[in-house]
Structure 1
Amino acid sequence: MQKKPFYKILYVQVLIAVAIGILLGYFFPNLGAAMKPFGEGFIKLVKMIIAPVIFCTVVVGIAAMGDVKRVGRVGGKALIYFEVVSTFALVVGLIVARTLQPGAGFNIDPATLDTNAVSKITSNAAHTSMVDFIIHIIPETVFSALTSGEILQVLFVAILTGIAISALGKEGEPVLEAVRYGEKVVFRMVGIIMRFAPIGAFGAMAFTVGAYGVKSIGNLLFLIFTFYLTAFLFVSIVLGIIAKLVGFNIFKLLRYIREELLIVLGTSSSESALPLLMKKLEAAGAGRPVVSLVVPTGYSFNLDGTNIYMTLATLFIAQATNTHITLSHELLILGVAMLTSKGAAAVTGGGFITLAATLQAVPEIPVAGVALLLGIDRFMSECRALTNFIGNAVATLVVARWEGQLDMEKLHAALDRHGAPVEPSATPHGSGA
């Protein structure tokens, strides 16, 4: 097989585009800020295709299982894993914030903060609860789930459809075959869309640097550094140990999905590489039923980066405003964050909303402190998205191994090939049952 010229490899193109975007935003801020439509346009293109990708893959995966109990077992194992690892992420954020104290010395008077800047965020947080979240999973109609842009609604309808087709037996086979053909068309569209990834990454990075600039980081640089350091420690140690127990190396996995990581970094959205991640994990030996269930569910329930951000940011605000908090306060923050991270998972701006919801449950810490983070949130969101993305990749392989749906030989072959790219236009082919 003839090797591709390096400049035709997608992740190389994305890396170059990110570098050009940063330089443009730095030297020509106004022009860089004007590149925003390129980044937004690419993310909209990806979000446009996510619903049919999830619908087709989940329906085919569940129908191939032919066992409703098995679907419930896979989902149950995934949720148990999500809860345990998410709690670890919250604890890691809490420990690092206590140790490094990124907010110490700010001496901010809460009364001087711009409360108008966070009023919209806090109002959204006030109306988000676990009950609202669960009710929100049920779409208005079967078809509205495919147009709402809500991943969990699509997943809900797809699971019902897959179970129904499976229950029909032979009568359902023509329908399943039609969905398989639809899946081929959808992934061909993914291949076309991903050709625009470098343009999207360029636009997003040029806008971020041009609109916010290096100066906007200012005194909050240590908080950004602390967050990135914490995320790195979590990925390399916590997820690294989990990966080792499963039987693979976390850094080899990162190398394998480096193309997708660069797309996530460039766009600050973990959704932007969701279709590619599903194909990469299937190509690495994870069974299609597991991939099709765990990856979409993880995007709402397995937010490791967001969880680290929540406890770290909460303690930062307390330290910056000289708010004294005790161990009982910290345990309360931990408990509340475990709930709010699920309750606001599907809401736009989830990072801020979950943080505001957590602060409202701990009245000692001023909610207005969220205003301190508004200027740097764009720089923090990239780290949140990357950590969430890596966490979901690991979670899928863990559940696949747990279910006996992980081909270890295929996995090691994929990881040892130095991340040989899976062509975006290729139709996924999993191990089925």
Structure 2
Amino acid sequence: PFRSLFLNGVKCIIAPLIFASIVCGISSAGSVSSLGRTGLRAIVWFEIATTAALAIGLFFVNVLRPGDGLSIGHEMSEQISKAAETKMSFGGFIEHLLPTNFAEAIVKGDVLQVVLFSVIFGLAVLLAGEKGKPVLRFCEGLNEVMFKFTSIVMAMAPIGVGAAMAGAVAEHGVKVLLPMAKLVGSLYLALFVFLMLVMVPALLYARVKVGAFLRELRPTILLAFATTSSESAYPGALQSLEKMGVSKRISSFVLPLGYSFNLDGSTLYLAVAAIFIAQAAHVELTLGTQLTMMLTLMLTTKGVAAVPRASLVVLSGTLTAFGLPLEGIALIIGVDEFMDMARTAVNLFGNCVATTVVSKWEGEALSPEFQHTA
């Protein structure tokens, strides 16, 4: 109950905070042309990182073949059936981008819809000029209030995080990892290689002091890891980036945008999980089919909510689209908690790196404490 109470407190923060921070971030851009340039640069980096994550995941799952020696059962749990019912086609994804009712998007916690609505609303405020200033002042006040609200909720973090960790071990036990150790190990190894080959070089390219960057983000990364919700660490990450010297214009726009379009850890996990299930079902996918699957994931993962278990919905849709047994999800549900911890932490870290890269492309420098000057 303490874990749920803490996460509920965090989730009720997210929609108003994302809305206020995006509107303030867009309005502080000063002009639509400046904003469009920042958004384009962010999307370019998101696609670079996502493609790298898919490629690394595909490589490791084919080399290590964690699904060999396993067999898919024929029982389908209620959770899997529910996931199958909620799978989304590409057309459905496009239709889903904007909510029919913004309040409904907030209630459902649909991050993608909240982000897109907030972007359009922020553009409207920017275009309204002087008449939009009262709305902007309201959003600035809301932004500040939500940060104070966050501080109150985060006072429960030690209890919530402790309960989350204890609950995961008590529910699943250490033994549950044994039959799936190869899958979990493959994912952790692939995520580590992704960090070393993509994220660290990106930080070096942006002339960021990696050690100082990690020390500043360590509490928020650990929070995301323990709660399996990168949303829980969003307020702390936003504050840390601004402390590092990333302008509010960039951090308040790129970071929330990344929560819908740049979930590197989840993308890599889905590549590994989909091929793993094919291996467990003794289905050999050709390279062409695997590449097509990766392109599909590149699109569908753009709508993955940054909340626990959202990736299972996308995975079920991908399995169905490629004729793979949906029962395969039953193989990984038992250890998904442990894999979710790692991929969620990478999601958060990847978005913080993306924000610093875009900041460099925008010609901005970080504080001397966090950036090499020569």
Q: Report which of the two structures shows the higher radius of gyration computed on alpha carbons.
A: 1
Task: Report how far residue 298 of structure 1 moved.
Answer: 0.9
- Any idea what SS the aligned residue of 2:208 has? coil
1:423 maps to what in 2?
A: none
Task: Report how far residue 172 of structure 1 moved.
Answer: 3.2
Residues 346 and 228 of structure 1, relative CA distance in 2, 3 Å threshold? closer
> Could you tell me which of 355, 374, 390 is aligned with 2:333?
374
The 5 A counterparts of 1:128-167 are 128-167=88-127
Q: What amino acid is the match of 2:336?
A: D
Q: Distance in 2 between matches of 1:138 and 1:327?
A: 35
| TM-score of the superposed pair, with normalisation by structure 1 | 0.80
Q: Distance in 2 between matches of 1:181 and 1:340?
A: 35
1:60–1:176 contact (8 Å) kept in structure 2: yes
Q: Distance in 2 between matches of 1:48 and 1:392?
A: 21
Deviations 1:373-418 (A, max 9, x none): 11111111101101111111111111121122x323x0x41479xx
Q: What amino acid is the match of 2:2?
A: F
The 5 A counterparts of 1:285-296 are 285-296=245-256
> Could you tell me which of 342, 352, 358 is aligned with 1:393?
352
1:62–1:166 contact (8 Å) kept in structure 2: yes
Residues 415 and 325 of structure 1, relative CA distance in 2, 3 Å threshold? same
Task: Report how far residue 143 of structure 1 moved.
Answer: 4.4
1:46 matched to 2:41? The reply is: no
Gaps of 5+ in 2: none
2:85 maps to what in 1?
A: 123
2:65 maps to what in 1?
A: 101
Q: What amino acid is the match of 1:113?
A: H
| TM-score of the superposed pair, with normalisation by structure 2 | 0.92
- Any idea what SS the aligned residue of 1:283 has? helix
> Could you tell me which of 110, 114, 119 is aligned with 2:75?
114
Q: What amino acid is the match of 2:318?
A: T
1:328 matched to 2:288? The reply is: yes
Deviations 1:68-110 (A, max 9, x none): 222222222212211221111011001011122222233x1x4
Task: Report how far residue 297 of structure 1 moved.
Answer: 1.4
Task: Report how far residue 267 of structure 1 moved.
Answer: 0.8
Residues 256 and 135 of structure 1, relative CA distance in 2, 3 Å threshold? same
- Any idea what SS the aligned residue of 2:180 has? helix
- Any idea what SS the aligned residue of 2:28 has? helix
1:22 maps to what in 2?
A: none
Task: Report how far residue 245 of structure 1 moved.
Answer: 1.4
Q: How large is the Cα RMSD of the aligned pairs? A: 2.2
Task: Report how far residue 240 of structure 1 moved.
Answer: 1.1
Residues 266 and 306 of structure 1, relative CA distance in 2, 3 Å threshold? same
Structure 1: 4+ residue segments shifted above 6 A = none
2:150 maps to what in 1?
A: 190
1:407 maps to what in 2?
A: 365
Q: What amino acid is the match of 2:7?
A: I
- Any idea what SS the aligned residue of 1:65 has? coil
Q: What amino acid is the match of 1:371?
A: A
Task: Report how far residue 347 of structure 1 moved.
Answer: 8.6
- Any idea what SS the aligned residue of 2:245 has? coil
Percent of residue pairs bearing the same amino acid type:
37
1:113–1:371 contact (8 Å) kept in structure 2: no
Residues 193 and 171 of structure 1, relative CA distance in 2, 3 Å threshold? same
2:365–2:371 contact (8 Å) kept in structure 1: no
> Could you tell me which of 199, 203, 206 is aligned with 2:166?
206
1:256–1:415 contact (8 Å) kept in structure 2: no
Residues 148 and 252 of structure 1, relative CA distance in 2, 3 Å threshold? same
1:142–1:157 contact (8 Å) kept in structure 2: yes
Name whichever of 283-292 and 373-382 sits farther off.
283-292
Deviations 1:122-147 (A, max 9, x none): 2222xx02332233232233444444
Q: Distance in 1 between matches of 2:180 and 2:336?
A: 11
Task: Report how far residue 316 of structure 1 moved.
Answer: 1.7
Residues 328 and 58 of structure 1, relative CA distance in 2, 3 Å threshold? closer
Q: Distance in 1 between matches of 2:276 and 2:186?
A: 10
Residues 72 and 391 of structure 1, relative CA distance in 2, 3 Å threshold? same
Task: Report how far residue 271 of structure 1 moved.
Answer: 0.6
Task: Report how far residue 358 of structure 1 moved.
Answer: 1.8
Q: Distance in 2 between matches of 1:347 and 1:284?
A: 26
Name whichever of 297-306 and 318-327 sits farther off.
318-327
Residues 63 and 99 of structure 1, relative CA distance in 2, 3 Å threshold? same
1:224 matched to 2:184? The reply is: yes
1:306–1:384 contact (8 Å) kept in structure 2: yes
1:240–1:249 contact (8 Å) kept in structure 2: no
Q: Distance in 2 between matches of 1:183 and 1:369?
A: 43
Residues 237 and 133 of structure 1, relative CA distance in 2, 3 Å threshold? same
> Could you tell me which of 353, 358, 363 is aligned with 2:313?
353
1:419 maps to what in 2?
A: none
Q: Distance in 2 between matches of 1:102 and 1:155?
A: 36
1:29 maps to what in 2?
A: none
Residues 310 and 168 of structure 1, relative CA distance in 2, 3 Å threshold? closer
